[in-house]
A and B are shown apart, each in its own frame.
Chain A
Amino acid sequence: MKVSYFPGCTLKNKAIDLDIYARKSAEVLGVTLEEIEEWQCCGGVFSTARDEIATKLASVRALKAAHEKNYPLVTVCSACHNVIKQTNHAMQNDAEFAQKVNNYMAPEDAYNGETQVYHYLELLRDVIGFDTIKGKVVNPLKGQKIAAYYGCLLLRPSSTMQMDDPENPHIMEDFISAIGAQPVIYALRNECCGGYVTMESPELAKKKSDAILENAKAAGADMIVTACPLCRYNLLKNGTDMPVLYITELLAQALGVKEDTNG
């Protein structure tokens, strides 16, 4: 099957691994990620202000492009997913906002949030199924104790994101189990790493990231996985020696398609 794919700016640059392994793994699992033409940066953060229109147009264009093909829209980057999903939610539920956006773009061809938005993890869980993945794993990551790091953007605001229980999520843990590793549960997996404030206040990011890493380590983790390039940056920059990997990297490894890219 084919789905529309919004990689986002970081995946074209600093987080190439997140992108490449996402495509490769999906291919193995029978899903083609078809990149949206001429996509524009989502902006990285969603503005909750109801009169912020222009900053959300890029997301609406991507959503509309997927809608024209009648595909669901998949993103891997947590931030892109958060922005696009929240924008789509606003298009569905805030009539005034939707009207303004449509007037801005093409009123005759109005978009009202019809596109189904999936994060890559949701694609794995809800479309492909973790059981299917289990069946396709060739290099099970046996014995590895992996701590999932959700960060903020995958789960919150939970009423909009609706991915999982915001306080006790298990989608990434289920993913980790599916690829044969052992998930490690720790409380700070849904706490903020410091986000973009790392630019102005690296100390804040350090404090937050250190606490997360320490908590994961205390819970017995050998490794952390995440779906967000910024989270990975903050954790790695401040970390001791805890490896921080992308979910897609681990998936590609388990599915046996990682070496190919390196070679």
Chain B
Amino acid sequence: MQRIGVFVCWCGSNIAGTVDVQAVSDALKNEPGVVFSTNYQYMCSQAGQDIIKQAIAEHKLTGIVVCSCSPRMHEATFRKTAAAAGLNPYMVEIANIREQCSWVHKDMPIGTEKAIILGKAAVAKVNLNTPLTPGETPVTKRALVIGGGIAGIQTALDIADAGFPVDIVEKKPTIGGKMAQLDKTFPTLDCAACILTPKMVDVAQNDKIRIFSYSEVTDVKGFVGNFDVTIKKHARYVKEDVCTGCGLCTEKCPQKKVPNEFNLGMDNRRAIYIPFAQAVPKVATIDPNYCTMLKTGKCGVCSKVCTAGAIDYKQKDEFIEEKYGAIVVATGYNPISMDKFDEFAYSQSKDVITSLEFERLTNAAGPTAGKLLRPSDGKHPHTIVFVQCVGSRCDSCAQKGKEYCSKICCMYTAKHAMLTRDKYPDTDVYVFYIDVRTPGKNFDEFYRRAVEEYDVHYVKGMVGKVTPEGDKLKVQASDLLTNKQMHIDADLVVLAAAIEPDKSARPLATMLTASMDTNDFFTEAHPKLRPVESPTAGVFLSGTCQGPKDIPETVSQAGAAASKVIGLLAKDKLTGNPCVAHSDEWMCNGCSSCERVCPYGAITYEDKEFRMPDRTTAIRRIAVVNPAVCQGCGACTVACPSGAMDLRGFASSQIMAEVDAICK
């Protein structure tokens, strides 16, 4: 039996004005377990707290009930008071007789009656309280960043800057991501390479940062502060630490017909290659799908020309296991496939391209050395049609495209149109739009410049059909403002393809038990207040893996994610919330119902040996809750069919006792 003390607060006249506090403390005195009951003007004041401490000592109290304001106000205060007097802080319950009683009821007898009932419910609960101790876990002071685009780079740099070691895992042979493929960046039009490549060099030179390029995460175990991650380093058949990046092999390799993915297949590279001049790490990689040596055992040119002796045809995939305290997901995006939108003739004509292809076409390091030339015949295009929202903002019933707005297309299309008109004033540029969406600092001004200064023809309407005929692309479109169907003979059509999360995100989310929305974007812990954290503790989100974003937004989110990681890694130990779920191993039948409803992946199963009657033993599958991961929502407690799962601090028996006390 508990020895409970009840402390009724007047809160000046806030409570005492409508509630007869004396009557309340008198009534509660007779409740089971209550050995002491009093009231005082301001319980939260130093004097009030002293009354509590004194009573705990004098009456050897094992639990206390404070009838006062909302627990959201002073629960923490009274828990500290109890702890100071040597009582477990979780033996304190608050009866909210101010916000939920005295302030909403006017009539003294009614208020008093309700306050007594609320007090009784709190007493009934404390009778079943047990002392709780928050668990502590150590923190591995190293972060993992998955994805080496601008988001991953910025996050890694910021974390390293705070003094913590960071590893970047990038599946491509170089970091840099999509931004490395871009030409100019809106709205300032500085060149992407000029602002990105110095950051890539910073990453390479930072002794806190390790880059695992051409690698991927294959397994994640553990929880916040203590992740065990397996990284698979693909064989690149070149010794990374020996290769000097001189590039001789990439010039001498006889296999010249490999589509160059960095230029989106618009030109070719060799079977041994460095994706682009500023690649980090600047190390060659052999493409095993095209290398004659690896396929037939005959060739070996690269090995012969390499003076450093870096080529190793026998290299194998390597698995690295590492511990991390925090994981940042920065897996980025890709433009969607244009397969389902062939009314725009993407598959039928080389001169129908996506906007990312257009970036490469205008990039000085691209396949045309920055000259805007048609992919089909290398001629200069005079009429260019840009189509917005290709695959964005689609209804789900249409079963093609994405429901969301891809967000970046309006701005990059304005940029493309403006740059084209600037460099080639002899071109006619049309932009077909549904809505022009340019919120952002200096964004709408930028779009207006395209229209007003550069005379880009913005047409409100959509393209319905592109018909390649001869060397022209016949574009049939609607102009909704003049209510006309337009027919344009274009030389180049550029499609603003919707963007979607990288395909690697879904399996990664499963490994991390991080949740995703139906579009495979990672879900944030709270859409407004915790935008860079995943609901899974210790997993953070950076960049477009969380939703479409432009570069400025990505960089700020990357910094925010880094600061959250730093906040976590700065701690030596993590103190948990002790009000977490726990499973009674004798009652659990291992049905997995709880695991399925847990949003945090806090529940795992283990086979445990049990002593059974007649000196036998049995192996039974039982649920185990990881208290460091559990957030204490209680979803599992209701899902559990056998009643094995319960929540500390809000046990079923405690809530039932409250119900009973109220309904008496």
Establish whether A and B are touching in the complex (CB under 8 Å): yes
CB pair B340–A167 under 8 Å, yes or no, is: yes
Which residues between 162 and 198 of chain A lie within 8 Å of chain B, taking CB atoms? 165, 167-168, 185-188, 191
Q: Let me know if B339 is at the binding interface, CB within 8 A.
A: yes
Q: Check A167–B468 contact: CB distance below 8 A.
A: no
Instruction: Kindly list chain B residues whose C-beta atoms are within 8 Å of the C-beta of A214.
Output: 469
Asked whether A215 is an interface residue with its Cβ less than 8 Å from the other chain, the reply is: yes
Cα(A191)–Cα(B342), bound, Å: 13
The answer to whether A185 touches B348 (Cβ under 8 A) is yes
Q: How far, in Å, is A131 (CB) from chain B's closest CB?
A: 24
User: Which single member of B341, B467, B469 contacts A167 (CB below 8 Å)?
Assistant: B341
How far in angstroms is the closest Cβ of chain B from A168? Answer: 4
Interface flag for B613 (CB, 8 Å): no
Q: Which B residues lie within 8 Å of A215 (CB)? A: 467, 469
Indicate whether A70 reaches chain B with its CB closer than 8 angstroms. Answer: no
Residues of B within 8 A of A168 (CB): 339, 342, 347-348
Cβ contacts under 8 Å, B339 to chain A: 165, 168
CB distance from B641 to the nearest CB of A (A): 36
Min Cβ gap B343→A in Å is 5
Which residue on chain A has the smallest CB distance to residue B464? Answer: A191
A159 close to B (CB within 8 Å): yes
From the candidates B341, B399, B467, name the one contacting A187 in the complex (CB within 8 A): B467
How long is the Cα–Cα vector from A185 to B399 in the complex, in angstroms? 25
* Contact in complex: B399, A159 (CB < 8 Å): yes
- B283 beta carbon closer than 8 Å to chain A: no
B490 to chain A minimum Cβ distance, whole angstroms, is 13
The residue in chain B whose Cβ has the minimal distance to the Cβ of A165 is B342
Q: What string of 1s and 0s marks CB contacts (under 8 Å) between A152-165 and chain B?
A: 00000001000001
Report the count of interface residues on A (CB-CB < 8 A): 13
- Per the bound structure, the CA–CA distance linking A186 and B470 in Å amounts to 11
Separation in Å of the B451 CB from the closest CB of chain A?
30
Chain A contacts for B465, CB-based, 8 A: 187, 191
Q: Which residues of B have CB within 8 Å of A165? A: 339-340, 342
Which of chain B's residues 405-458 have a Cβ closer than 8 Å to chain A?
none
Contacts of B347 in A (CB 8 A): 168
B345, B347, B465, B467, most chain A CB atoms within 10 A: B467
A159 to B398 CA separation, bound complex (whole angstroms): 9
Contact in complex: B470, A187 (CB < 8 Å): no
Whole-angstrom CA separation of A188 from B465 in the bound complex: 9
| Cβ of B117 to closest chain A Cβ, rounded Å | 53
**Looking at chain B's contact residues, is the secondary structure mostly helix, strand, loop, or mixed?**
mixed
CB of A106 closer than 8 Å to a CB of B: no
Q: Which residue of A lies closest to B345 (CB)?
A: A187
Which residues of chain B from 313 to 363 have a CB within 8 Å of any chain A CB? 339-343, 345, 347-348
Task: Give complex CA distance A219, B470 in Å.
Answer: 7
A216 nearest CB neighbor, chain B only: B469
Complex CA–CA separation, A186 to B474 (angstroms) = 12
Contacts of B341 in A (CB 8 A): 167
CA distance A235 to B341 in the complex (A): 26
The answer to whether B468 and A187 touch across the interface, beta carbons within 8 angstroms, is: yes
Closest Cβ of chain B: how far from A151's Cβ, in Å?
15
Of chain A, the residue at the smallest CB distance from B347 is A168
User: Which residues from A are CB-within-8-Å of B399?
Assistant: 159
**In the complex, what's the smallest C-beta–C-beta distance from B198 to chain A, in angstroms?**
43
Does B466 belong to the interface (CB within 8 Å)?
Answer: yes
Smallest CB separation, B353 vs chain A (Å): 16
A218 within 8 Å of B (CB atoms)? yes
A231 to B341, CA, bound (A): 24
Compute how far the CA of A165 lies from the CA of B343 in the bound complex, rounded to whole angstroms.
11
Residues in chain B near residue A186, CB distance under 8 A: 467-469
CB-CB nearest in chain A for B346: A168
List A residues 202-230 near B (Cβ within 8 Å).
214-215, 218-219
A167 surroundings in chain B (CB, below 8 A): 340-343
Query: Measured between alpha carbons, how far is A186 from B342 in the docked complex, in Å?
Result: 12
Inter-chain contacts of A219 with B (CB < 8 A): 469
Shortest B397–chain A CB gap in Å is: 8
Q: Please give me the residue from chain B that is nearest to A158 by CB atom.
A: B399
Nearest Cβ distance between residue A185 and chain B, in whole angstroms? 6
Most buried by B among A165, A167, A185: A167
Tell me the smallest distance from the CB of A10 to a CB of chain B, in Å: 28
CB closest residue in chain B, given A191: B465
Most B-side CB within 10 Å, residue of A187, A191, A219: A187
A214 → B minimal CB distance (Å) = 7
Smallest CB separation, A42 vs chain B (Å): 27
| Closest-CB distance, B485 to chain A (whole angstroms) | 12
Is the CB–CB distance between A218 and B342 below 8 Å?
no
Q: Which residue of A lies closest to B467 (CB)?
A: A187
Partner of B466, one of A185, A187, A218: A187
Query: Is B343 a contact of A218 with CB atoms below 8 Å?
Result: no
Q: Which residues of B contact A159 (CB under 8 A)?
A: 399
The residue in chain B whose Cβ has the minimal distance to the Cβ of A169 is: B342
B280 to chain A, nearest CB (A): 39
Which A residues touch B343, using CB under 8 A?
Answer: 167
Cα–Cα distance between A159 and B470 once the two chains are bound (Å): 32
Q: List the A side residues contacting B466 at CB < 8 Å.
A: 187
Other A-B pairs beyond A185-B348, A187-B466, A187-B469, 14, CB < 8 Å: A165-B339, A165-B340, A167-B341, A167-B342, A167-B343, A168-B339, A168-B342, A186-B467, A187-B345, A187-B467, A187-B468, A191-B465, A215-B469, A218-B469
What are 21 A-B residue pairs whose CB atoms fall within 8 Å in the complex?
A: A159-B399, A165-B342, A167-B340, A167-B341, A168-B339, A168-B342, A168-B347, A168-B348, A185-B348, A186-B468, A186-B469, A187-B345, A187-B348, A187-B465, A187-B466, A187-B467, A187-B468, A187-B469, A188-B467, A214-B469, A215-B467
Residues of A in contact with B (beta carbons under 8 Å apart): 159, 165, 167-168, 185-188, 191, 214-215, 218-219
Give me the 10 closest cross-chain CB pairs, A-B, nearest first: A167-B342, A168-B342, A187-B467, A218-B469, A167-B343, A187-B345, A215-B469, A218-B470, A168-B347, A188-B467
